[in-house]
Structure 1
Amino acid sequence: MKPKVFIILGFLVAVGAVLFITSSNGDKARQQGGAEAAPSQTRASGPVTEISFLYSTEKKEWVESAVAGFQQENPSIRVKLVGKGSLESAQAMLDGKEKPTVWSPADSAVLRMLESDWSTDPQRGQLFATSGDDAPQPLVITPLVFVVWEDRAEVLQKVSGGVVSWKAIHKAVASDQGWPAIGGKSEWGFVKLGHTDPTRSNSGLQAMLLATLEFYGKRSGLTVGDLLKPEYQTWVKELEKGVTRFETSTGTFMTDMVRFGPSKYDVAVVYENLAISQLANAQGRWGNLKVYYPALTLWSDHPAALVQADWVTPEQKDAARKFLTYLRSRPVQERALAFGFRPADPSVPLKTQDAANPFTRLAPQGIQVDVPPVAEVPEGPVVRNLLTMWSRVVGTAR
């Protein structure tokens, strides 16, 4: 009998030990849970509304910074970020692969093109509001610029009235003599131009628009008929001989321009904000890399559009309005300067006392507050036909 008693007592002790350990772990878990719950007091106590923000990746850093601040102030709204190239996102919406609450491409040209494509099916209804507070409005802005090694730019300026122009670039690119055709050094070889694929990247599309407008001497009023003229198409084909590879990302060839110097690119067509982010890295590597503003430029106005499609609920619309108001608030607009953007809010000054302000710091590298005249964005059908023309004349020849 005694052995049985010892066995029973041993069992009871073991059970007691297990219960004690479990209780202790539970107390620790509750204590830890209390510590983790403190931050959750900022979370919504009621239902959370999720909105999706489909945006162009050029403004990724500014967007992510702004959304982090918005989420802290608005715990009842969750913002899902989806970054895509402007043309890619427009096609994804047209195909039904993306159904955002708010869409913000890099510029209004792509927005107008999607509006035009969308309206071909009347059953879809209106995609964006055409007036009022819900109509597309800019978030931040940045112009298209040339980034050129200074010695190359001086040659281009001599043949184009003191500016870097598309016609001067075309003259050098089209000639089999390369740089010597316009007075450059023979050791520079052929003119190496960099811009992205217009059918896949917004900066490439803008580059083609500006080149076309300069060819015709227009600031506005570009027509589909202009794009059909053989002499113009020949000019475009000759110009594009200078581009050895059409990248899909502006950042890719801008980085390569700094990394490899003029051996890879003499001239690049990029957004001003992207140039600002790379100029400091280039100095002292291959010479002086500077920004030059074309005689006519285009704004990337980064419009934000509240989508009016049936997949957006009234609750999401209300949440999106709060989000857009936050993005356009003065403190968030002021922070855009740090990322090289010009605030869309005209009351925010570009020049400040902040030593890190790029519009002051990078003035010696060509960054300037005042910009040349800005071209008028064509209507959607013109933009679509420009892309078709380029694919036929240039894209299929590569």
Structure 2
Amino acid sequence: MVILGFLLAVGGVFYLSRHGNTSSDTGSSGAGSTGPSRPSAPVPVTEISFLYSTEKKEWVEAAAVLFQQENPSVKVTLVGRGSLDAAQGILEGREKPTVWSPADTAVLRMLESDWATERTRGPLFAQDGEDAPQPLVITPLVFVVWEDRANVLLKANEGKAVSWRVIHQAVASDQGWPAVGGKAEWGFVKLGHTDPTRSNSGLQAMLLATLEYYHKRSGLTVGDLLDPKYQEWIRQLEKGVSKFEASSGTFMTDMVRFGPSRYDIAVVYENLAISQIANAQERWGTLKVYYPPLTLWSDHPAAVLQADWVTEAQKEAARKWVKFLRSRPMQERALKFGFRPADPSVPIKTADADNPFTRLADHGILVEVPPVAEVPQGPVVRNLLAMWTRVVGSQR
């Protein structure tokens, strides 16, 4: 009896010990417990700001939603600005982003050159590694022209292409469209492009017109910009622009809304043309895309800034954000917004019925583009803007 009692006692202690541990484990998990649960430790959040050119607004905003879902420890604040306004803001200290993505490398080089003039500051961009500028998406500059007007320009240029030289010939003449074989009722030739001192597409337009004038694909110099004959050629070309808008999207929308009464020709990014072509049908005739003999890529580089206001934690979070934008799913998604993927392994032509590069082929959209010009160095870009302001901007 004594031995039996001892065994029962040991068994009871063992049972109570097991039961108590189970209750404790259950209580700590929050299921089946009547006791208070311990609050989970807050996840530290790193905040970064992404200053980007507004042409890619819809793609960036869609990507940010997905990124935040997958990366709750990083908060991305999106700030959309025109590329040249953003560059000036960074130079003056009004803008202090973690990552900056202008529309193209020309603006980035110009800011890099301006920033380097103050020797007390270190480099703004890394030259290599993950923090160095990397392209996100690409899109070329194109002419968007009403088809009947384009046919006249093509005939005047012996069917070769819609070029800056034939546009200059049409714009510079006081006879208007009849000077190149167009109808008198069309009036003067109405050209549209943005203000080169405020918008990147306007800057690219001036670069391409200048390169075509000099029959160059690269090697543009500051000396080229000082030639009085060239300056007069630019002044005559810009007679065709009644108003220099700050945004490419603004006058592209007006071209569709008001038809040829407002613009005959517009110089815009390919992705903007893609977004508006369908809206123009059944309104004023057929709106088509024409690629100039020489074009420029807007490569939308993204650079993690090396400025003193960016912490190491922010740099690490910024690398995740840039890597996400360059990931294959986001590159494929860019196609829907009319951009070409920066990742060369992502095909442009797909079986997707909504792919604009196949759907809009009849409207002039091409997969293969003409030769691409070389982006000049920062001092050349800065002097081009100074020349335009003296020759054209001061007259408006």
1:381 to 1:268, Cα distance in 2 relative to 1, 3 A: same
Match of 2:114 in 1: 117
CA deviations on 1:344-389 (whole Å, 9 max, x unpaired) are 0111111111111100110010011000000000000000000000
Task: Tell me whether 1:134 sits opposite 2:131 in the alignment.
Answer: yes
Q: Which runs of 5+ in 1 are unaligned?
A: 1-40
Rg larger for? 2
| Secondary structure of the structure 2 residue equivalent to 1:52 | strand
Contact 1:138 1:302 in 2 (8 A): yes
Question: 1:77, 1:191 → 2: CA distance?
Answer: 51
For 1:1-398, list aligned pairs within 5 A.
Answer: 45-161=42-158, 162-398=160-396
Matched residues, number: 357
Equivalent AA in structure 1 for residue 115 of structure 2: W
Equivalent AA in structure 2 for residue 91 of structure 1: Q
1:189 CA displacement: 0.7
1:387 to 1:44, Cα distance in 2 relative to 1, 3 A: farther
Equivalent AA in structure 1 for residue 94 of structure 2: K
CA deviations on 1:243-300 (whole Å, 9 max, x unpaired) are 0000001011100100111111000000000000000000111111000000000000
CA deviations on 1:212-233 (whole Å, 9 max, x unpaired) are 0000000000000000000000
Question: 1:156, 1:191 → 2: CA distance?
Answer: 11
CA deviations on 1:156-203 (whole Å, 9 max, x unpaired) are 111224200000000011100011111111111100000000000000
Question: 1:325, 1:256 → 2: CA distance?
Answer: 36
Question: 1:160, 1:327 → 2: CA distance?
Answer: 42
1:307 CA displacement: 0.2
CA deviations on 1:18-44 (whole Å, 9 max, x unpaired) are xxxxxxxxxxxxxxxxxxxxxxx9x99
1:46 CA displacement: 1.8
Equivalent AA in structure 2 for residue 237 of structure 1: R
Question: 2:155, 2:132 → 1: CA distance?
Answer: 45
Question: 1:133, 1:182 → 2: CA distance?
Answer: 52
1:328 CA displacement: 0.4
| Secondary structure of the structure 2 residue equivalent to 1:147 | strand
Question: 2:272, 2:306 → 1: CA distance?
Answer: 32
Contact 1:233 1:393 in 2 (8 A): yes
CA deviations on 1:294-328 (whole Å, 9 max, x unpaired) are 00000000000010011100000010111111110
TM-score, with length taken from structure 1: 0.89
Question: 1:46, 1:184 → 2: CA distance?
Answer: 67
RMSD: 1.2
Question: 1:45, 1:152 → 2: CA distance?
Answer: 63
Question: 1:78, 1:328 → 2: CA distance?
Answer: 18
1:50 to 1:167, Cα distance in 2 relative to 1, 3 A: same
Question: 2:195, 2:321 → 1: CA distance?
Answer: 32
Match of 1:10 in 2: none
Equivalent AA in structure 2 for residue 105 of structure 1: P
Match of 1:12 in 2: none
| Secondary structure of the structure 2 residue equivalent to 1:348 | coil
Q: Which runs of 5+ in 2 are unaligned?
A: 1-38
Question: 1:132, 1:332 → 2: CA distance?
Answer: 21
TM-score, with length taken from structure 2: 0.89
Structure 1 stretches of at least 4 aligned residues deviating more than 3 Å after TM superposition: none
Question: 2:329, 2:143 → 1: CA distance?
Answer: 30
1:44 to 1:55, Cα distance in 2 relative to 1, 3 A: farther
1:124 CA displacement: 1.1
1:214 to 1:349, Cα distance in 2 relative to 1, 3 A: same
Question: 1:265, 1:321 → 2: CA distance?
Answer: 42
